[in-house]
Amino acid sequence: MDLKPNHISPVITEPIPVKSRLGLPSNLMSYPPGIELNSTTSMLFNNIQRRKNVPSKLDELRAGGWLEAMIACSPPRKKQTKDSDDSYEQYLTWMMKYPSALTSFEQITAHAKGKRIALFLDYDGTLSPIVDNPENAIMTDEMRTSVKNVARYFPTAIISGRSRDKVFEFVKLTELYYAGSHGMDIMGPVRNNDSHGSHPNSIRTTDSQGKEVNLFQPASEFLPMIDEVFRTLIEKTKDIKGSSVENNKFCVSVHYRNVAVEDYGLVDQCVKEVLKNYPRLRLTSGRKVFEVRPTIDWNKGKAVEFLLESLDLSDCNDVLPIYVGDDRTDEDAFKVLRERKCGYGILVSSVRKDTDAFYSLRDPSEVMEFLKSLVKWV
């Protein structure tokens, strides 16, 4: 695995998920492999074609600075379903490019015939709802049972931005593999002749069940720095009402979901000010959260590749990886699957977003339905 330091920008800028052109996309008719225009989508397409393009609210969002992006990055959840005819129509148009993994289930499973499915699941916003307090992002028992059932048939891993311990506390299933801190903390199986087993950042240890496992932590040298930044950010943001700082072991999250919009600038300013002193750390953005991470070339996409290799599942002829996630950071994994032409990314979103996924699901309840469908299909 390539672990080159990635000294791009010390204080960052990942683009925020705002689609810049939201009329009918010119590549509307380009579908993922195996997707055909069925009668429902045809009807939908014809309906949309009949109407004139109307500029959306997002069209008016200019490519401004961080602050504008902070406001725009996560539309209010209560207004997502049918804010207006226009946005709903544009969402449906988007859905034609990224069809529901439920209505496309047969196409997906047709590609899985004779192959082993490997399942990768994000946690927040995918298995649990996005909630005001990140500590309360609890998955339902029904979801837990669905994940447990699906893991009986397919190797299943959780890949989260949270610390590995924290996400395990939420999921509580020992039969899964876990990658925390955006893949920078992976507990996977031990293999004979494991090329990763001899990696300097990889150690053999035992899990909570006493089973021998391989622990891969490519950013271990950053631990003291991350801890220092965590404490500094707590101190600096203590007067910003509604902000919270979370230590995810190899990254620090600054949540501003509960901060008043007029104070977003303070959060932005504060985080950037602290980061100025840490050129080896970078800042990325998620759903109402800033994330401070080491500048190493490692992300959820690399974690997927690592796990596929660790699990002996990297042969595309025999394996169909499926990655389900809702966040900007999941795009790295979608991109890996798209570039390998192997497997499918499924974006969980009830609003249109730029994505490298092939399919979509609206929310965690549809994710659960998809997992149940996979179990029935086996």
- Which residues contact Mg ion (rule: CB under 5 A)? 122, 124-125, 326-327
Residues 6+ apart with CB under 8 A from 19: 58, 352, 353, 354
Q: At what angle do helices 300-310 and 331-340 cross, to 10 degrees?
A: 50
3-state secondary structure of 120: strand
Q: How far is the CB of 76 from Mg ion (least distance, A)?
A: 17
Q: How far is the CB of 348 from Mg ion (least distance, A)?
A: 8
Q: Return the number of the residue (96 or 186) whose C-beta is nearest Mg ion.
A: 186
Q: β-strand 289-294 against 359-361: which pairing, if any?
A: unpaired
**Distance between start and end Cα atoms, the chain:** 33
Decide: residue 224, CB within 10 A, 0-12 exposed, 13-18 middle, 19+ buried. exposed
Q: β-strand 344-348 against 359-361: which pairing, if any?
A: parallel
Q: Return the number of the residue (124 or 266) whose C-beta is nearest Mg ion.
A: 124
349, 360 in Cβ contact below 8 A? yes
* 157 closest CA partner among 130, 128, 122: 122
Q: Which two tokens stand for residue 309?
A: 């290799």
CA 124 to each of CA 8, 136, 193, 264: distance values in angstroms, whole numbers, following the listed order: 28, 10, 34, 22
Q: Give the separation between CA 162 and CA 148, rounded to whole angstroms.
A: 20
Q: How far is the CB of 177 from Mg ion (least distance, A)?
A: 17
Q: How far is the CB of 303 from Mg ion (least distance, A)?
A: 14
Q: Give the separation between CA 320 and CA 343, rounded to whole angstroms.
A: 5
Q: What Rg, from alpha-carbon coordinates, does the chain have?
A: 21
Q: How far is the CB of 110 from Mg ion (least distance, A)?
A: 28
Q: Return the number of the residue (268 or 330) whose C-beta is nearest Mg ion.
A: 330
361, 103 in Cβ contact below 8 A? no
What DSSP element (H or E) covers 109? helix 105-112
Q: How far is the CB of 327 from Mg ion (least distance, A)?
A: 4
Q: How far is the CB of 74 from Mg ion (least distance, A)?
A: 11
Q: How far is the CB of 330 from Mg ion (least distance, A)?
A: 7
Q: How far is the CB of 158 from Mg ion (least distance, A)?
A: 11
Q: Return the number of the residue (134 or 294) whose C-beta is nearest Mg ion.
A: 134
* 224 closest CA partner among 271, 283, 278: 278
Q: Return the number of the residue (177 or 323) whose C-beta is nearest Mg ion.
A: 323
Q: Give the separation between CA 186 and CA 217, rounded to whole angstroms.
A: 6
Q: Return the number of the residue (185 or 326) whose C-beta is nearest Mg ion.
A: 326
Q: Return the number of the residue (125 or 301) whose C-beta is nearest Mg ion.
A: 125
Q: Return the number of the residue (134 or 188) whose C-beta is nearest Mg ion.
A: 134
Q: Give the separation between CA 349 and CA 364, rounded to whole angstroms.
A: 9
Q: Return the number of the residue (214 or 284) whose C-beta is nearest Mg ion.
A: 284
Q: Which two tokens stand for residue 306?
A: 């690592």
Q: Return the number of the residue (124 or 185) whose C-beta is nearest Mg ion.
A: 124
Q: How far is the CB of 368 from Mg ion (least distance, A)?
A: 15
Q: Which two tokens stand for residue 356?
A: 């490298």
